[in-house]
């Protein structure tokens, strides 16, 4: 079997940028698996490349998790433990240290450029495996800046031109990637491997509240559709006594292009009373809020996979979701589905869950915890059998 070499450039670029995103979590899961398999790691930094042999790679997670250091200090400590460093952006300076028969793995949508890919092609018996999480910048350009869309097109073009295998989390992403190959002269095998979920056990100190509360996770951007939820809560605040209104807890950083939503968060009288913007919480705090929630709300308009409903299910927390294909396929009737064009469906689902009897809550929680979610073990079995 080829020796896996994981590109961790995304994790390095995210130092000091707050809570982990979905893609961050995937790269971290791969890091732990590569360590288990005795693999290597590389990182592209603004100063050049870092190479981590297996013994050094084992030390990397503790440095990535150093909450007592700021991003710059974390970066310095990570540079210090690297096995080799190059002083420029040519990966060839350190390639001679890499094992023959390597499998270069990139799951972070970062450092996807022809220079790195061509360099890997110089290694004997090499293989290049890249994960594409979604094609939203192409399929939904209104949810992206033009700069972000152009960068994504460049990266996907590089992957189609150079990768030996493309990994995707859902059939929908596979179909969209294969469409992009038409007319390129390249037909790269696209393998569907659903993402696993591993948040650990339910926190014993999970959040408790006198009122039912609902959680929404994710960057506050148009695609995530926070506007729908805020409109529902505004309506409840106009028509209901405040003590009867459940709480909405918004966990995630503010993104871009969402002025109307930001205006509500900054100026609405319901803020701090029935709606709470908690920001991008550390994982430990996020888990406490999620584990104690009446339900997760997931009105996202587009996803390649969409981890939050699966993460909620591991704690036995139900989800009200937009009817997205990956959720419907892998959560089935364990989730409650509501059309994002129908505010009343969402209001009804929220109201029913908030008033649900304790016995029904217990039954639902037990069913969710017993449900067989996609696992990282199955994901990795499928991926690592490619090389």
Report if residue 207 sits inside a domain: no
**Per residue in 269-328, pLDDT tens?**
999 999 999 999 988 999 999 999 999 999 999 999 999 999 999 999 999 999 999 999
Residues 243 and 351 reside in one and the same domain: yes
How many independent structural domains does the chain possess? 2
pLDDT at 264: 97
Report if residue 137 sits inside a domain: yes
> Span 76-96, mean pLDDT?
84
pLDDT at 202: 83
- CATH number for the domain including 191? 3.40.50.2000
Q: Provide the domain limits for residue 280.
A: 213-370
Residues 157 and 240 reside in one and the same domain: no
Query: pLDDT-based confidence at 1, cuts 50/70/90?
Result: confident
Residues 240 and 336 reside in one and the same domain: yes
- Give yes or no for residue 67 having a pLDDT over 80: no
Report if residue 132 sits inside a domain: yes
Residues 112 and 250 reside in one and the same domain: no
Per residue, what are the HEC states of the chain?
CCEEEEECHHHHHCCCCCCCCHHHHHHHHHHHHHHHCCCEEEEEECCEEEEECHHHHCCHHHHHCCCCCCHHHHHHHHHHHCCEECCCCCCHHHHCCCCCCEEEEECCCCCCCHHHHHHHHCCCCCEEEEECCCCHHHHCHHHCCHHHHHHHHHHHHHHHHHCCEEEECCHHHHHHHHHHHCCCCCCCCEEECCCCCCCCCCCCCCCCCCCCEEEEECCECHHHCHHHHHHHHHHHHHHCCHHHCCEEEEECCECCCCHHHHHHHHHCCCECCCEEEEECCCHHHHHHHHHCCCEEEECCCCCCCCCHHHHHHHCCCCEEECCCHHHHHHHHHHCEECCCCCHHHHHHHHHHHHCCCHHHHHHHHHHHHHCCCCCHHHHHHHHHCCC
Residues 305 and 345 reside in one and the same domain: yes
Give the tokens for residue 110.
């970062």
The full length of the chain comes to 387
Stronger pLDDT, 351 or 205, i.e. the higher one: 351
- Give yes or no for residue 87 having a pLDDT over 80: no
pLDDT at 91: 81
Residues 239 and 320 reside in one and the same domain: yes
**Per residue in 40-52, pLDDT tens?**
999 999 988 999 9
> Span 97-115, mean pLDDT?
92
Residues 56 and 105 reside in one and the same domain: yes
Compute the Cα dihedral for 96, 98, 103, 108 and give only its sign.
negative
- Give yes or no for residue 124 having a pLDDT over 90: no
- Give yes or no for residue 113 having a pLDDT over 90: yes
Average pLDDT value for the chain:
93
**Per residue in 211-249, pLDDT tens?**
999 999 999 999 999 999 999 999 999 999 999 999 999
Residues 139 and 169 reside in one and the same domain: yes
Residues 40 and 167 reside in one and the same domain: yes
pLDDT at 80: 92
* pTM, full prediction: 0.93
pLDDT at 40: 96
Report if residue 204 sits inside a domain: no
Residues 275 and 311 reside in one and the same domain: yes
What is the Cα–Cα distance from 372 to 214, expressed in whole angstroms?
24
**Per residue in 138-169, pLDDT tens?**
999 888 888 999 999 999 999 999 999 999 99
- Give yes or no for residue 205 having a pLDDT over 90: no
Stronger pLDDT, 381 or 70, i.e. the higher one: 381
pLDDT at 57: 97
Residues 223 and 352 reside in one and the same domain: yes
Q: Are 40 and 31 in contact (CB under 8 A)?
A: no
Residues 182 and 218 reside in one and the same domain: no
């Amino acid at each position: 079997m080829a020796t896996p070499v994981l590109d961790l450039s995304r994790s390095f670029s995210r130092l000091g940028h707050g809570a982990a995103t979905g893609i961050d979590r995937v790269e971290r899961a791969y890091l732990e698996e590569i360590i288990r398999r005795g693999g290597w790691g590389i990182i592209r930094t603004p100063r050049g490349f870092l190479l981590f042999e297996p013994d050094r790679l084992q030390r990397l997670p503790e440095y990535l998790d150093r909450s007592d250091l700021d991003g710059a200090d974390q970066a310095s400590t990570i540079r210090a433990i690297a096995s080799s460093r190059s002083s420029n952006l040519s990966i060839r300076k350190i390639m001679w240290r890499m094992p023959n028969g390597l499998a270069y793995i990139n799951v972070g949508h970062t450092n996807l450029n022809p220079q790195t890919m061509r360099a890997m092609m110089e290694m004997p018996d090499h293989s290049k495996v890249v994960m594409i999480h979604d094609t939203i910048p192409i399929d939904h350009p209104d949810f992206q800046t033009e700069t972000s869309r152009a960068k994504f097109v460049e990266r996907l073009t590089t992957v189609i031109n150079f990768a030996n295998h493309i990994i995707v989390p859902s059939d929908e992403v596979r179909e969209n990637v294969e469409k992009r190959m038409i007319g390129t002269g390249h037909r790269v095998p696209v393998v569907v491997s659903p993402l696993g979920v591993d948040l650990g056990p339910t926190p014993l100190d999970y959040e408790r509240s006198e009122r039912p509360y609902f959680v929404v996770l994710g960057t506050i951007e148009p695609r995530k559709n926070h506007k729908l939820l805020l409109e529902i809560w505004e309506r409840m605040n106009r028509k209901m006594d405040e003590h009867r209104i459940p709480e909405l807890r918004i966990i995630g950083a503010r993104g871009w292009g969402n002025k109307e939503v930001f205006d509500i968060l900054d100026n609405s009288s319901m803020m701090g009373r029935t709606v709470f913007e908690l920001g991008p919480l550390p994982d430990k705090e996020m888990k406490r809020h999620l584990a104690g929630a009446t339900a997760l709300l997931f009105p996202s308009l587009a996803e390649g996979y969409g981890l939050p409903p699966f993460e909620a299910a591991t704690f036995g927390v139900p989800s009200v979701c937009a009817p997205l294909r990956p959720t419907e396929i892998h959560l089935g009737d364990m989730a409650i589905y509501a059309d994002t064009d129908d505010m009343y469906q969402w209001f009804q689902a929220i109201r029913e869950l908030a008033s649900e009897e304790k016995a029904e809550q217990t039954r639902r929680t037990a069913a969710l915890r017993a449900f067989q979610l996609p696992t990282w073990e199955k994901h990795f079995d499928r991926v690592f059998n490619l090389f």
